[in-house]
Structure 1
Amino acid sequence: MIICHSRKFIFVKTKKTAGTTVEIALSRACTEGDIVTDLAERREPRFADEPANALSMQKNLFDIDKGGKKQQFGFKEHSNIAHPYMMFGERVADYKIITVERNPWEKIISQFFYLKKSRLEDSAEFTKFVEGGEFVTDFVLYGVRGIPFYDYCIRQEHLTEDLEQVRRELDLPDSVAIGDITTKTTERPKEASRRRDMYGDTARRIVECAFLPELHHTGYSFDAVDCPPIQPSPLRIPARKAFAAHTAKRVKDWTITARQP
């Protein structure tokens, strides 16, 4: 997650969507006082000069006193959109929200091979994985009460062009670009290159049901090769205002103190 106070945007990082690549690119717009969560990939030598390395070392820890009940909180790589509202309230109410999505059926294949980290031995193994419901969905990270909060949803299939649109419209530095950023290598073997080769009817329907909110708002489908640009929900702004007001009531008795790095 990124909470960029200096540029007034929040990046909600989803899973198996090239989110790490986008996070590194967007972090180049950040400066001292902004929040960039720690990321193992940035500790590698090729990212040694990335400014996000120094920013993430701030640890972004908060002490919370809930009427005498004390605890610590720190933003995580895949924190959901509720957390910035809880920590910063009205300060982030007008921040633009950015996330990344991907065809759900492709995402599940990617998750499967990421966890398996080996070649596909039997197509029934993938079907068992899907039927077991061990995969994760991301709507809960950027959506509240059925409404996606994002202003920009970058398509994994169009990273470069969609990120460039975000950069231009938010007037971010030219360095916010995919360029030569390469992060995790894929574990997906050649025999899984076509989603039709992976899915039977049952597995296909299971994924469709699990990702109904994403499919409704993005326009992805099983058969489509591509997805049109993803439009933000017209309900997002009133929904965010209502959620911010709800969150304010919830935390009104809290004392939140940022820890010094």
Structure 2
Amino acid sequence: MQRNAAAEFRGLKLTKAPTVIVSHRYRFIFLKTAKTAGTSIELALSRFLGPDDIITPVSAEDESLRKQLGGIGPQNYQQPHNASKHWLNRLRQTFSKPAFYNHMPAAEVRALVGEHIWGTYFRFCVERNPFERAVSLYYWCCRKGPRPPISQFLQSPRIQLLTQRGIQIYTSGSGQMLVDRILRYENLAAELETVRMRLGLPEPLLLPNAKGGLRPAQQHYSELLSSDDRRIIERQFCRELELFQYRWETVTDLRHPQHKSPDSISESNAFHALPQSR
């Protein structure tokens, strides 16, 4: 049974589905990383967007939730921002793929919106403890079928998804930081309130539990991952662990904390360890 489940698991493709937000009303760009509450943040931000803002689609289930929250649905994602009306019509007629897509790297967004918007808008994303992200991805990928052991999962190509839709989203090919702020998932409510005040959004961001409920409650990653699993994750995410001061913790460590990470990655020395580019 495990062998069949693993074979089915390895056959899954790394797909792209459209999702990113560029707000001209509030002058910000939200870059979505994987397994960091990105969909929930998108839905919450949608309530404040205007008719010229770029909003890309999410799943049908999440679009229904967005509507319930009073958010604006997908719009303006099929073409570059600075296209003329004539060119927009030609694009609609000749292109089937959207210009903006899911977990789009910062460098590609920059090319589409242009240097002026890129250099003057506030750009942000979210990062999360890699051990937690790996466990979250495991439960998400295996939500619909037989679940292979997590050790088997960590040795499959799927774990690379977290790098492709993580640090590669907010850094350039040469390693430059391409965002103004990286919010820490572990302190997300306070981080989002700080961002809200900076952007001038009129109300607090209320996050729905999009894509939640898949993982057993109260299960700490150290109780699920073996020492070999830990080493795999540490190799795969060595840059994130070093830059953002994440470390392996146990339940005992949480009860008796001796290490305090920066409340915001943008306020830590690690954020400035990479050269930044406007």
Q: TM-score, normalised by structure 2?
A: 0.72
Identity, in percent, stands at 28
Amino acid at match of 1:3: V
**Residue correspondence of structure 1 range 210-229 to structure 2 within 5 A:** 210-223=236-249, 225=254, 227-229=261-263
Give the equivalent residue in structure 1 for 2:71.
51
Give the equivalent residue in structure 1 for 2:15.
none
Q: Do the aligned partners of 2:66 and 2:72 also contact (CA within 8 Å) in 1? A: no
**Residue correspondence of structure 1 range 59-208 to structure 2 within 5 A:** 59-62=77-80, 73-92=98-117, 93-117=119-143, 125-135=149-159, 136=161, 137=163, 138-144=166-172, 145-174=174-203, 176-178=204-206, 181-190=208-217, 193-208=219-234
Q: Do the aligned partners of 1:42 and 1:50 also contact (CA within 8 Å) in 2? A: no
Q: Do the aligned partners of 2:79 and 2:100 also contact (CA within 8 Å) in 1? A: yes
Q: Do the aligned partners of 2:23 and 2:29 also contact (CA within 8 Å) in 1? A: yes
Q: Do the aligned partners of 1:113 and 1:187 also contact (CA within 8 Å) in 2? A: yes
Give the equivalent residue in structure 1 for 2:13.
none
The alpha-carbon distance between structure 1 residues 4 and 221, as it changes in their structure 2 partners (threshold 3 A), is: same
Amino acid at match of 1:32: P
SS in 1 for 2:265: coil
| CA–CA separation in structure 2 for the residues paired with 1:115 and 1:127 | 14
Q: Do the aligned partners of 1:80 and 1:140 also contact (CA within 8 Å) in 2? A: yes
| CA–CA separation in structure 2 for the residues paired with 1:6 and 1:235 | 32
Render the CA deviation track for 1:60-80: whole Å, top value 9, x for unaligned: 3248x9xxxx96652012111
Q: Do the aligned partners of 1:119 and 1:189 also contact (CA within 8 Å) in 2? A: no
Give structure 1 stretches of 5+ with no counterpart: 242-261
Render the CA deviation track for 1:75-104: whole Å, top value 9, x for unaligned: 012111112211122222122111111111
Q: TM-score, normalised by structure 1?
A: 0.76
Q: Do the aligned partners of 1:59 and 1:74 also contact (CA within 8 Å) in 2? A: yes
SS in 2 for 1:7: coil
Q: Do the aligned partners of 1:118 and 1:187 also contact (CA within 8 Å) in 2? A: no
The alpha-carbon distance between structure 1 residues 229 and 16, as it changes in their structure 2 partners (threshold 3 A), is: same
Structure 1 stretches (4+) deviating beyond 4 angstroms?
70-73, 118-122
Report deviation, 1:199: 1.6
The alpha-carbon distance between structure 1 residues 110 and 102, as it changes in their structure 2 partners (threshold 3 A), is: same
| CA–CA separation in structure 2 for the residues paired with 1:189 and 1:154 | 25
Render the CA deviation track for 1:221-244: whole Å, top value 9, x for unaligned: 1116474323333477x7324xxx
Amino acid at match of 2:46: S
The RMSD of aligned alpha carbons is 2.9
Amino acid at match of 1:155: R
